[in-house]
């Protein structure tokens, strides 16, 4: 495709998003469908453009220049919009543009039946408008090539998602939304300040100019800017300890929008962070890489442990997002550290693994949230303890969810496994010749990632087995029916996406060499790194053929005709859902093993029914999971703020003279500073 | 010898020896405990009987109940195909990357756990919860243990690790710190195979069982598949540990007449020695209370970590 065709496609994808938003405003029964269809189609165009550029030979698409034929006199074109701003996609941002577009396609299709079904709960029109605007914000952030554009679209994205969290208007959602608003704006403020420090206060500086200016900064300014950017981008990605907003906000957002936020939205801060690190700053200090690594590892461990003990499906998946973002940041941290310590191969491989995990995470997490939407509306509860039995009632749908859950647990041969394999294998390879600092970091990484991978499997198996298998635990779950095609197809396709991404990982790795790094040593069939090789497609073929041969043997040599259905053996009594293992019980060993960290509090209340026999009693158990961050960080900070506000409140004593005196004082101070 | 032939020989030998290994363990255990015990080849007859029997499917279960046995058994067969057990340098040797093997093991455990929960009884759920805990906490230990071997031998496939250390006594002599990793490997094998002190494979008592609890509701061919998968896993781990500990060479592409016979014979000898050791262990120590298993797992973890740390230190010096 020629550059101008791609440019037109890009414009169509952005304008289409806006048109979808406008269509949603029309008060007509078909507006909802039309809006989502337009959104899906324009996002599809966007996906084609993004994938073409990401897999292309490294051309950069700059708007508006690319729309015009090359002028003979070399004249350039500008649009009188936003101070002649230039928008563009290079190979690196094209990866993220593809992620956003692909996820949007599936979410828009899913939204058609989902929102109609939820009409009593949400205002469909506003959710549609907000979703389209959110996508517009995501596209804008990626396309921006300067600070003001980036920050403007960042704000559009943040404010729109604030309203999305607020969508059902409940008290819980209001609380979550304000927490989100505060956290996201503290983050945005930090990013803005960081950018200004890097650019020396110039609002309109282009990112490419910024790269030059940054080299001339004083060390202190540079360090402060880096710290601010890490806090800003890190808090938006849900890194511990800035993650508190994430489970709350994810818990309240409608699923169609949530899949977009959790799949595509969460990769945007990652994009910003990598954009700064790889293209703008000349090299980071040691403390910075160690901080990134530590924050990432901490988030991965904390996220996965809370995911294991969480019993609310939405929040479980939210914690899994914290875990995955933690892993990605840990990979970036290792890449930075390895770069400083002279292990260039590891830098490359870790960055590739981070990008690949981001790709895979976008696919499986949006798929899982879409699936959670189906499971939760079928069982009318977010608690895993009220689900169960969905696999028997909805076999097609639940098979897709099983695949997604295994993908999220990084099982072979799905995408996330390849990312973790690449990372761990490269670490093992790099250990041979690593410097002492790096060696310590790498050994810790090996142990931690192994732990996180194991726990992630625990969390995902728990989610799937308790939520979907065995007897239904509620009447609603008992009457669940297989969802319609428009709902299932996006989920199935996202599950396939995770599989295909894994199988064709060598190809994908080959093409995300966007960062001008030498391409990882990948043949057409296998990934080679750190002295190990992995051929995902052959692994899949081998595993598949083993299963196939077994199935064939079973058909030929054993009795498949005679089969009896009988109740589960339970010491002679009939089995009821109340006897099933619950999510709480399932994760009990982990809660016990990590009780020093998780600080769960269990309270059992026993009320005797028969006065003479204390053993015949009704028991109720409550389990609360305390969060260290709330108790130690946010609550004290809140107290401090309230105290300060009370102190400041004393100024507001209602006397006009005093206020005028204050104004005069302020004027004096200003004059002294100004002169 | 042709690599394809090597893999074929190994597959045939392992798949046919597998039932014997669980029979032998039970036989040794019975003799050590002063009982007469059943013949070691009883499992062959048991499995053959099960295959002919009618299948009973739990009314509470879903498609997972039928799919799980295939995946669980496939995971064990995968190990039997790719790991260096009887032969080294087979055609599938490149699949024995330790990270992949660890992940395939975990995949098998995951499906076993889901099958355990699918029937809806508290027995299955309890076993599932325990199995999942053990399998997921072992992941890091497996990675660290094999990372130490990978570092010492300079290769990441388990096949390569054994091939480069054709004489294990030399490997241990030149890298004595690997002893710690070997101990970790043995602890991993005990936990993975639900043996003492983590699980008691001989009971059907809810307080003690892990593996048995999950497959309580299986019958007929499905039960045969589940049981065979676990005995296959036992065989694989027994031979893997034996190959890391005992110095007799495996069959390779360069083996000829005499050494082929020797390797085959030694396979049987190794299996008998390891299984006898397992039976001895199970007759002399007590099973751990489940909530104390974390100490066992933590011990294995630090053993593996120390092994890796010493391997790295020795490289620096």
Q: How far is B97 from chain A (nearest CA, A)?
A: 7
**Would A639 be classed as within a structural domain?**
yes
pLDDT by residue (tens digit) across B219-242?
989 999 999 999 999 999 999 999
**Are the beta carbons of A395 and B124 separated by less than 8 Å?**
no
Under 8 Å CB-to-CB from A635, ≥6 apart: which residues? none
CA B110 to chain CA centroid, nearest Å: 16
Q: How far is B145 from chain A (nearest CA, A)?
A: 10
Q: How far is A494 from chain B (nearest CA, A)?
A: 21
Nearest CA in chain A to B302: A447
**Would A135 be classed as within a structural domain?**
no
Classify B167 as helix, strand or coil. Answer: coil
Q: Is the minimum CB–CB distance between A432 and chain B shorter than 8 Å?
A: yes
Question: Residue B69 — very low, low, confident or very high, per pLDDT cuts 50/70/90?
Answer: very high
Q: How far is A56 from chain B (nearest CA, A)?
A: 31
**Are the beta carbons of A581 and B71 separated by less than 8 Å?**
no
Q: Is the minimum CB–CB distance between A193 and chain B shorter than 8 Å?
A: no
Cα distances (Å, whole numbers) of residue A445 to A428, A644, A675, B24, B133: 11, 41, 55, 41, 21
Per-residue DSSP letters for A417-454?
A: HHHHHHHHHHHHHHHTT--HHHHHHHHHHHHHHHHHHH
Nearest CA in chain B to A465: B114
Under 8 Å CB-to-CB from A114, ≥6 apart: which residues? A254, A255, A256, A373, A377, A487
Least CB–CB distance from A532: residue in B56, B77, B156 = B156
Q: Is the minimum CB–CB distance between A592 and chain B shorter than 8 Å?
A: yes
Which residue spans within A118-237 are E strands per DSSP? Answer: none
What residues in B contact A550, CB-CB < 8 Å?
70, 73-74, 77, 225
**Contacts A–B by Cβ distance under 8 A:** 255
Rounded to 5 degrees, what are φ and ψ at A646? -65, -40
**Are the beta carbons of B94 and A461 separated by less than 8 Å?**
no
Q: How far is A576 from chain B (nearest CA, A)?
A: 8
Nearest CA in chain A to B110: A461
Rounded distance, CA A88 to CA A275, Å? 13
**Are the beta carbons of A568 and B119 separated by less than 8 Å?**
yes
> Residue B44 has what pLDDT?
95
Least CB–CB distance from B156: residue in A406, A412, A428 = A428
Nearest CA in chain B to A550: B70
Q: Is the minimum CB–CB distance between A214 and chain B shorter than 8 Å?
A: no
**Would A654 be classed as within a structural domain?**
yes
What residues in B contact A564, CB-CB < 8 Å?
54-57
pLDDT by residue (tens digit) across B257-293?
888 888 899 999 999 999 999 999 988 988 888 888 8
Classify A239 as helix, strand or coil. Answer: coil
Handedness of CA B48, B49, B53, B56 (dihedral sign): negative
Rounded distance, CA B101 to CA B122, Å? 31
Least CB–CB distance from A592: residue in B113, B128, B291 = B291
Rounded distance, CA B116 to CA B122, Å? 9
**Are the beta carbons of A469 and B118 separated by less than 8 Å?**
yes
**Would A649 be classed as within a structural domain?**
yes
What residues in A contact B294, CB-CB < 8 Å?
589, 592-593
**Are the beta carbons of A402 and B125 separated by less than 8 Å?**
no
Q: Is the minimum CB–CB distance between A612 and chain B shorter than 8 Å?
A: no
Cα distances (Å, whole numbers) of residue B40 to A381, B19, B27, B277: 52, 9, 6, 16
Domain count, chain A: 1
What residues in B contact A398, CB-CB < 8 Å?
62
Rounded distance, CA A204 to CA A422, Å? 39
Q: How far is B36 from chain A (nearest CA, A)?
A: 31
Q: How many helices (H) and strands (E) does chain A have?
A: 28, 7
> Residue A604 has what pLDDT?
85
Rounded distance, CA A156 to CA A140, Å? 9
Rounded distance, CA B212 to CA B199, Å? 10
> Residue A73 has what pLDDT?
66
Least CB–CB distance from A464: residue in B63, B114, B216 = B114
- From chain A residues 495-534, the ones with a CB under 8 A of any chain B CB are 530-534
CB A536 within 8 A of CB A356: no
**Are the beta carbons of A431 and B301 separated by less than 8 Å?**
no
Q: Is the minimum CB–CB distance between A375 and chain B shorter than 8 Å?
A: no
Q: Which helix (H) or strand (E) holds B270?
A: helix B257-284
> What token pair was written down for B269?
């000898």
**Would A396 be classed as within a structural domain?**
no
Whether a cis peptide bond, with omega within 30° of 0, leads into A241 is yes
> Residue A521 has what pLDDT?
44
What count of other Cβ atoms lies within 10 Å of the Cβ of residue A482? 16
pLDDT by residue (tens digit) across B82-117?
999 988 888 898 899 999 999 999 999 999 999 999
**Would A12 be classed as within a structural domain?**
no
Least CB–CB distance from A450: residue in B140, B216, B291 = B140
Flag residues of chain A having pLDDT under 50. 514-523
Rounded distance, CA B81 to CA B98, Å? 14
Q: Is the minimum CB–CB distance between A334 and chain B shorter than 8 Å?
A: no
Q: Is the minimum CB–CB distance between A244 and chain B shorter than 8 Å?
A: no
Nearest CA in chain B to A545: B74
CA A609 to chain CA centroid, nearest Å: 49
**Are the beta carbons of A550 and B77 separated by less than 8 Å?**
yes
pLDDT by residue (tens digit) across A375-391?
999 998 899 988 888 99
**Are the beta carbons of A451 and B290 separated by less than 8 Å?**
no
**Would A516 be classed as within a structural domain?**
no
Q: Is the minimum CB–CB distance between A558 and chain B shorter than 8 Å?
A: yes
Best mutation target, B65, B139, B199, B222, to test chain A (most A CBs within 10 A): B139
Best mutation target, A307, A523, A581, A588, to test chain B (most B CBs within 10 A): A581
Domain that holds residue A654: 629-674
Per-residue DSSP letters for A37-101?
A: HHHHHHHHHHHHHHHHHHHSSS--EEETGGGSPPPTT------SSTTT--EEE-HHHHHHHHHHH
**Would A641 be classed as within a structural domain?**
yes
Give the side-chain half-sphere CA count within 13 A for A548: 6
Nearest CA in chain A to B216: A569
Nearest CA in chain A to B146: A428
Best mutation target, A297, A396, A447, A553, to test chain B (most B CBs within 10 A): A447
CB A9 within 8 A of CB A45: yes
Q: Is the minimum CB–CB distance between A423 and chain B shorter than 8 Å?
A: no
> Residue A573 has what pLDDT?
81
Arithmetic mean of pLDDT over chain B: 89
Q: Is the minimum CB–CB distance between A458 and chain B shorter than 8 Å?
A: yes
Residues A283, A286, A289: CA angle, nearest 5 degrees: 80
């Amino acid at each position: 495709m020629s550059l101008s065709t791609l440019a037109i496609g890009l414009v169509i994808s952005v304008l289409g998003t806006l048109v979808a938003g406008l269509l949603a405003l029309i008060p007509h029964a078909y507006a909802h469908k039309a809006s989502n269809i337009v959104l899906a189609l324009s996002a599809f165009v966007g996906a084609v453009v993004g994938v073409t550029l990401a897999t292309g030979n490294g051309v950069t698409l700059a708007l508006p220049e690319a729309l015009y034929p090359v002028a003979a006199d070399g004249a350039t074109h500008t649009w009188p919009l936003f101070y002649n701003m230039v928008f563009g996609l290079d190979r690196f941002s094209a990866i993220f543009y593809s992620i956003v577009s692909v996820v949007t396609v599936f979410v828009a299709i899913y939204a058609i039946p989902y929102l109609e079904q939820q009409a009593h709960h949400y205002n469909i029109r506003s959710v549609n408008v907000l979703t389209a605007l959110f996508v517009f914000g995501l596209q804008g952030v990626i396309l921006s090539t300067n600070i003001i554009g980036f920050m403007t679209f960042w704000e559009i994205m943040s404010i729109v998602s604030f309203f999305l969290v607020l969508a059902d208007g409940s008290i819980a959602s209001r609380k979550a939304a304000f927490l989100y608003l505060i956290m996201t704006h503290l983050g945005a403020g930090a990013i803005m300040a960081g950018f200004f420090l890097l650019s020396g206060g110039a609002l309109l500086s282009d990112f490419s100019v910024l790269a030059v200016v940054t080299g001339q900064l004083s060390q202190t300014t540079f360090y402060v800017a880096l710290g601010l950017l890490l806090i800003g981008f890190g808090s938006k990605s849900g890194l511990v300890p800035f993650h508190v907003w994430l489970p709350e906000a994810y818990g309240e957002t409608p699923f169609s929008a949530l899949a977009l936020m959790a799949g595509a939205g969460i990769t945007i801060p990652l994009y910003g962070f990598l954009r700064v690190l790889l293209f703008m700053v000349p090299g980071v200090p040691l403390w910075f890489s160690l901080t990134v690594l530590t924050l990432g590892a901490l988030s991965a461990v904390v996220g996965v442990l809370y995911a294991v003990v969480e019993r609310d499906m939405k929040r479980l998946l939210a914690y899994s997002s914290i875990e995955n973002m933690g892993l990605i940041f840990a990979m970036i941290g290792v890449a930075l550290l390895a770069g400083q310590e002279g292990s260039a191969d590891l830098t490359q491989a870790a960055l590739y693994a981070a990008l690949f995990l981001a790709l895979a995470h976008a696919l499986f997490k949006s798929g899982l949230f879409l699936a959670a939407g189906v499971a939760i509306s079928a069982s009318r509860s977010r608690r895993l303890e009220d689900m169960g039995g969905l696999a028997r009632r909805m076999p097609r749908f639940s098979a897709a969810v099983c695949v997604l859950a295994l993908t999220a647990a990084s099982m072979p041969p799905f995408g996330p496994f390849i990312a973790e394999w690449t990372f761990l294998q490269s670490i093992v390879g790099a250990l041979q010749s690593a410097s002492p600092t790096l060696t310590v970091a790498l050994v810790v990484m090996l142990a931690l990632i192994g732990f996180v991978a194991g726990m992630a499997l625990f969390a995902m198996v728990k989610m799937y087995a308790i939520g979907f298998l065995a007897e239904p635990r509620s009447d609603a779950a008992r009457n669940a029916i297989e969802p319609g095609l428009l709902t299932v197809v996006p989920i199935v396709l996202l599950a396939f996406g995770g599989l295909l991404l894994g199988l064709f990982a060598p190809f994908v790795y080959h093409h995300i060499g966007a960062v001008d790094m030498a391409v990882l040593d990948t043949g057409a069939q296998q990934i080679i790194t750190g002295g190990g090789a992995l051929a995902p497609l052959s692994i899949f073929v081998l595993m598949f053929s083993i299963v196939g041969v077994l199935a064939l043997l079973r058909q030929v040599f054993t009795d498949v005709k005679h089969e009896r259905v009988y109740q589960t053996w339970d010491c002679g009594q009939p089995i009821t859902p109340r006897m099933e293992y619950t999510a709480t019980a399932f994760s009990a060993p982990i809660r016990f093993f990590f009780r020093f960290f998780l600080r769960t509090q269990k309270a059992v209340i026993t009320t005797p029914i028969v006065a003479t026999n204390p053993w015949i009693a009704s028991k109720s158990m409550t389990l609360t999971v305390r969060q260290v961050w709330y108790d130690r960080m946010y609550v004290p900070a809140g107290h401090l703020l309230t105290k300060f506000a009370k102190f400041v409140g004393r100024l507001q004593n209602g006397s006009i003279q005093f206020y005028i005196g204050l104004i005069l004082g302020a004027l004096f101070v200003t004059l002294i500073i100004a002169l | 010898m042709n690599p394809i032939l090597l893999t074929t020989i190994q597959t045939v030998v392992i798949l046919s020896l597998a039932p014997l290994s669980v029979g032998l363990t039970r036989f040794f255990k019975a003799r050590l405990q002063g009982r007469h015990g059943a013949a070691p080849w009883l499992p062959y007859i048991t499995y053959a009987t099960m295959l002919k029997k009618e299948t009973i499917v739990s009314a509470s279960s879903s498609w997972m109940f039928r799919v799980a046995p295939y995946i669980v058994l496939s995971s064990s067969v995968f190990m039997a195909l790719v790991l260096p057990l009887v032969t080294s340098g087979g055609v599938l040797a490149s699949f024995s990357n330790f990270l992949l093997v660890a992940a395939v093991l975990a995949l098998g455990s995951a499906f076993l756990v889901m099958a355990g929960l699918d029937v809806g009884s508290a027995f299955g759920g309890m076993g599932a919860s325990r199995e999942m805990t053990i399998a997921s906490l072992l992941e890091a230990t497996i990675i660290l243990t094999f990372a130490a071997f990978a570092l010492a031998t300079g290769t990441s496939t388990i096949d390569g690790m054994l091939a480069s250390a054709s004489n294990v006594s030399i490997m241990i002599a030149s890298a004595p710190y690997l002893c710690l990793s070997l101990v970790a490997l043995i602890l991993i094998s005990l936990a993975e195979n639900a043996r003492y002190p983590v699980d008691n494979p001989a009971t059907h008592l809810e307080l003690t069982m892990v593996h048995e609890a999950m497959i309580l509701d299986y019958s007929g061919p499905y039960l045969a598949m589940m049981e065979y998968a676990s005995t296959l896993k036992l065989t694989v781990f027994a031979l893997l540990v034996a190959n890391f500990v005992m110095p007799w060479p495996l069959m390779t592409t360069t083996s000829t007449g005499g050494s082929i016979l020797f390797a085959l014979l030694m396979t049987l000898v190794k299996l008998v020695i390891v299984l006898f050791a397992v039976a001895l262990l199970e007759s002399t120590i007590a099973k751990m209370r489940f909530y104390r298993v974390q100490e066992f797992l933590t011990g294995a973890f630090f053993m593996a970590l120390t092994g890796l740390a010493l391997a790295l230190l020795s490289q620096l010096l």
